[in-house]
């Protein structure tokens, strides 16, 4: 908690005592009033300028009032029409679950208690015809009388058919705790919260999120396409988590059914380390209640225990439906590390440093969870050195929103994402060796074949390697299980020889990019005739969001609209089954290419060494005031801080992002 420093001291009848958190929609304060201790959230002033914000905030308050129960933080009071809108909720004494997990995983009895409490909390949420949509450790407080769920700021009313509380194309929720349908930007139902609960329980016991990937796209891909290895969980917890994490929403239990699965468990207290965290908070709060605004020491580090080892997620395979021809088309898999081709494209980070201003910083990230903050997800967080200037603070108060410049510039409109098509003619005529009965049996990695058959019934004929052929990526001897092909490949099973051939098609222009999985990165010049390649995911490369096979259009790239920049379509004349479309997102410093006004940033450094990255508003210390697609357009920012970047080869990828301290 931090003492108040020139901030508002009251909200309605509530007296603010200390600042405990800052989220995407506002600051959260410890306060006291007619109902005793409460948590008051004051909305950020800059958000009030957004069209329709007050109406959305009013809807969120009304939705939150409908939720009640022993395991949810109740709404006490609110005034969405005040000059500075605010919301007061029950103050829950206890540490947030994410801080507890950071100190070490919970034992089984504590996770069972957590599971029962969260199931009852979801019952209360769903009774109010709501879906929470952001159930995660930061929104769960371990109170002495059980877990309590907070933050209904992005809850969605089931009967609100026409008015979304969020913008179209944005993923809502913490990426690692989304359900598969939520990760794919689909409609969510109460069963989505149950999947999130399963992830929370697994993380609480192991200390590691089972779906966490190299970035947001990989994390979302893991949620949709992989099944976590739950073998490290005790049998009782494993059964609970497995039921919650069913990919089919209809196969998941209801909260009531989950309580039946959990069954009876003794009402034990939290581990001593959790109690110690709570007591430390109690002492700190007591100081503020007495008017003592000293900065209290954090106390000794609390450790619950070592993290339990968790195997990486395994790829979920669909039921085996190998056709009579025993041709298995390519499957998407979790990408493996890739070798970097020679001379990969390197984007140039251009700099422009105007006169520096004084840097004023606030304290470190507080312990408290945010209330009613919307997490901007589907965006990768990268720490990269980029050009910028620290914004001047006219009043020297650490970034209060009273700068004379207009901090609400409208982002430059972006043109429709480009679509590039590269067509390969039918395979060239080659001189083929006379095939023998042993061509398949003696096939080795690196051999090449033509397909004289069809998509469903391959007829392989050995040929010299080149574009338009199928190259053997692997030969699996002693098995007829095609799942052993770990790369995006055509998988042909030959029972007579007890082997499987894993084949990769060689596209003239697709190069190594043609066979790249989601989560990998590629690059090629936009001009027709250039060959594309797979690369390490450096700044200036294009991250693969989706890999679509068969005929498709750019409009079929629907999974991550907020990240989509362009698509690449590799066609094969007369063989539509070999067509591949890569839906792509440009990798930029700190993912600032994809920011929008009011997104949160995490800014570090000073002087000429300032770094900025898109951040969860739980941890961001700055926000975006405007964005233009022009490079080095510092005048656009009109005295605010700025970051600017331009791609070294493709100038259409450029930006100037304006920002201010929060």
DSSP letters of 133-187?
----GGGEEEETTEEEE---TT-EETT--S--SS-TT-EES-GGG--HHHHTT--
For 394, the token pair is: 């006219």
For 266, the token pair is: 């003794």
Cα–Cα distance between 144 and 120 in angstroms, integer? 16
Cα–Cα distance between 224 and 30 in angstroms, integer? 39
Q: Helix 235-244 vs helix 108-127: angle between axes, to the nearest 10 degrees?
A: 30
Q: Write down the residue that tokens 């972006």 correspond to.
A: 414
Cβ-based neighbour number of residue 434 at 10 Å: 7
Label the pairing between strands 327-328 and 376-377. Answer: unpaired
Q: Determine whether 221 is exposed, middle or buried from the number of CB atoms within 10 Å of its CB (0-12, 13-18, 19+).
A: buried
Buried b (16+ CB within 10 A) or exposed e, 149-175: bbbbbbbbbeeeeeeebeeeebbbbbb
Label the pairing between strands 86-90 and 75-79. Answer: antiparallel
542, β-bridge pairs: 522, 586
Task: Decide if 134 is catalytic.
Answer: yes
Q: Are 224 and 316 a contacting pair, CB within 8 Å?
A: no
Q: Determine whether 430 is exposed, middle or buried from the number of CB atoms within 10 Å of its CB (0-12, 13-18, 19+).
A: middle
Cα–Cα distance between 628 and 144 in angstroms, integer? 49
Cα–Cα distance between 476 and 267 in angstroms, integer? 53
Residue closest to 386 by CA, chosen among 166, 126, 593: 593
Residue of 77, 134, 616, 618 marked active site: 134
Specify whether the backbone of 53 is left (phi greater than 0), alpha (psi in -120 to 50) or beta: alpha
Cα–Cα distance between 184 and 509 in angstroms, integer? 29
Q: Are 451 and 470 a contacting pair, CB within 8 Å?
A: yes
Report DSSP state, residue 319: P
DSSP letters of 484-521?
G--SS-EEEEETTTTEEEEEEE--TTTGGGTTPPTT-E
CA 15 to chain centre: 37
Residue closest to 96 by CA, chosen among 283, 367, 375: 367
* Residue 450 host element (H or E): strand 448-451
Buried b (16+ CB within 10 A) or exposed e, 357-378: eeeeeeeeebbbbbbbbbbbbb
Rounding to the nearest 10 degrees, give the CA dihedral for residues 57, 58, 59, 60: 50
Active site residues: 134
């Amino acid at each position: 908690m931090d003492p108040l420093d020139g901030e508002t001291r009251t909200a309605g009848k509530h007296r603010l005592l200390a600042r405990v958190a800052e989220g995407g929609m506002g600051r959260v304060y410890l306060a006291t009033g007619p109902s005793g201790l409460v948590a008051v959230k004051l909305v950020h002033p800059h958000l009030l300028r957004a069209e329709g914000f007050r109406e959305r905030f009013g809807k969120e308050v009304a939705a939150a009032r409908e939720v009640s129960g022993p395991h949810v933080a109740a709404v006490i009071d609110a005034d969405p029409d005040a000059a500075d809108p605010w919301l007061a909720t029950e103050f829950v004494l206890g540490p947030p679950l994410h801080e507890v997990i950071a100190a070490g995983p919970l034992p089984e009895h504590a996770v069972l208690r957590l599971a029962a409490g969260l199931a009852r909390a979801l019952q209360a949420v769903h009774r109010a015809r709501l879906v929470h949509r952001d159930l995660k450790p930061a929104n769960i407080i371990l109170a002495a009388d059980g877990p309590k769920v907070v933050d209904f700021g992005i809850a969605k009313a089931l009967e609100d058919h026409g008015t979304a509380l969020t913008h179209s194309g944005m993923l809502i929720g913490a990426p690692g705790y989304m359900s598969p349908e939520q990760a794919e930007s689909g409609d969510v139902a109460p069963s989505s919260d149950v999947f999130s609960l399963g992830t929370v329980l697994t993380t609480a016991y192991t200390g590691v999120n089972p779906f966490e990937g190299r970035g947001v796209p990989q994390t979302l891909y893991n949620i949709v396409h992989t099944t976590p290895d739950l073998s490290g969980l005790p049998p009782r917890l494993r059964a609970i988590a497995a039921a919650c994490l069913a990919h089919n929403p209809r196969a998941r239990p209801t909260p009531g059914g989950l309580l039946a699965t959990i069954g009876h468990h003794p009402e034990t207290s939290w581990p001593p380390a959790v109690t110690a965290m709570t007591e430390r908070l109690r002492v700190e709060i007591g100081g503020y209640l007495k008017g003592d605004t000293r900065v209290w020491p954090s106390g000794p580090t609390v450790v619950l225990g070592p993290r339990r080892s968790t195997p990486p997620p395994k790829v979920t395979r669909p039921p085996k439906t190998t056709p009579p021809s025993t041709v298995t088309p390519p499957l998407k898999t979790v990408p493996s590390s890739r070798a970097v081709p020679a001379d990969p494209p390197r984007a140039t980070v251009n700099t422009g440093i105007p006169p520096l201003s004084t840097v004023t910083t606030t304290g470190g990230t507080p312990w408290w969870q945010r209330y009613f903050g919307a997490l901007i997800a589907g965006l990768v967080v990268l720490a990269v050195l980029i050009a910028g200037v620290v914004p001047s603070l006219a009043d020297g108060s650490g970034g209060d929103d009273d700068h004379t410049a207009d901090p609400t510039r409208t982002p430059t409109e972006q043109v429709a994402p480009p679509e590039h098509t590269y067509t390969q003619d039918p395979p060239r005529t080659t001189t083929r060796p006379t095939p023998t009965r042993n061509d398949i049996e003696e096939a080795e990695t690196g051999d090449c074949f033509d397909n004289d058959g069809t998509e469903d019934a391959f007829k392989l004929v050995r040929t010299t390697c080149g574009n338009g052929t199928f190259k053997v990526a692997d030969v699996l001897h002693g098995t007829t299980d095609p799942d052993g092909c770990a790369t995006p490949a055509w998988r042909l099973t030959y029972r007579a020889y007890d082997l499987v051939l894993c084949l990769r098609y060689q596209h003239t222009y697709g190069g190594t990019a043609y066979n790249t999985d989601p989560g990998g990165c590629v690059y090629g010049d936009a001009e027709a005739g250039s060959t594309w390649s797979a690369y390490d995911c450096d700044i200036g490369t294009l991250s693969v969001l989706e890999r679509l096979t068969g005929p498709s259009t750019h409009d079929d790239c629907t999974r991550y609209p907020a990240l989509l920049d362009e698509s690449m379509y590799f066609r094969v004349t007369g063989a539509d089954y070999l067509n591949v479309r890569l839906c792509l997102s440009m990798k930029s410093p700190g993912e600032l290419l994809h920011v929008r006004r009011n997104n949160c940033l995490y800014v570090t450094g000073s002087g000429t060494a300032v770094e900025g990255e898109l951040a969860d508003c739980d941890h961001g210390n700055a926000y975006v005031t405007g964005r233009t697609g022009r490079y080095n357009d510092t005048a656009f920012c009109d005295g605010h801080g700025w970051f600017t970047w331009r791609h070294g080869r493709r100038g259409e990828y450029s930006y100037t992002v304006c920002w201010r301290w929060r």
